Amino acid sequence: MCAMMWLETERCLRDVLKSAHSYENTDSDLCVAALAGDPSSSTADVPGLCAIAVSAAAANASATASFLLRPSYFYNSTLLLRSCAAQYANASEALLAARLSVADQAYDYAAVHVSAAAEYPTVCRTLFRRRRRPYPLELAKREEGLRRLCTIALDIISLLLQKNNA
């Protein structure tokens, strides 16, 4: 459906999201940036675009886990940061499992894994709240970025599920 030339990438990605009936809820500019940034997106079919979206989310989660383990970012929150890093590592693992599910065309399982990955960072926010510590703005931005990337992946998975069930 979506094998394309580079100039058609943006239009194709927007068409994929519209087909998933969730275009209004998805940041289409982020979607285009995340997917078109991968050179293989110019020739990818819809499952390939899904794999790219899941990989982008996994890379985001992994980068955030690494970021949180840097000793210089926060002070007096070492245990919180380790816990948060573990949550982002869990999100990354769930996204890697989702990518395998997409490759196996097990889109229902992929959706479960991506949904779980989107929720792991909320544990971090809760940990800060329970300790009565302000939730760092940088961490909030990273949480939102992962949530948005997971939403894009879920939108594409939704489209794949519709095609499988048709």
User: Tens of pLDDT along 111-134?
Assistant: 999 999 999 999 999 999 998 988
Rounded to two decimals, the pTM is 0.81
**Per-domain boundaries in the chain:** 46-165
Q: Can you read off the two tokens belonging to residue 98? A: 């989702």
Q: What angle do CA 150, 152, 156 make, to 5 degrees?
A: 115
* Tokens standing for residue 53: 């979206």
Write out the DSSP string of 78-108. Answer: HHHHHHHHHHHHHHHHHHHHHHHHHHTT-HH
- Which CATH code fits 46-165? 1.20.140.40
Question: Does pLDDT of 20 surpass 90?
Answer: no
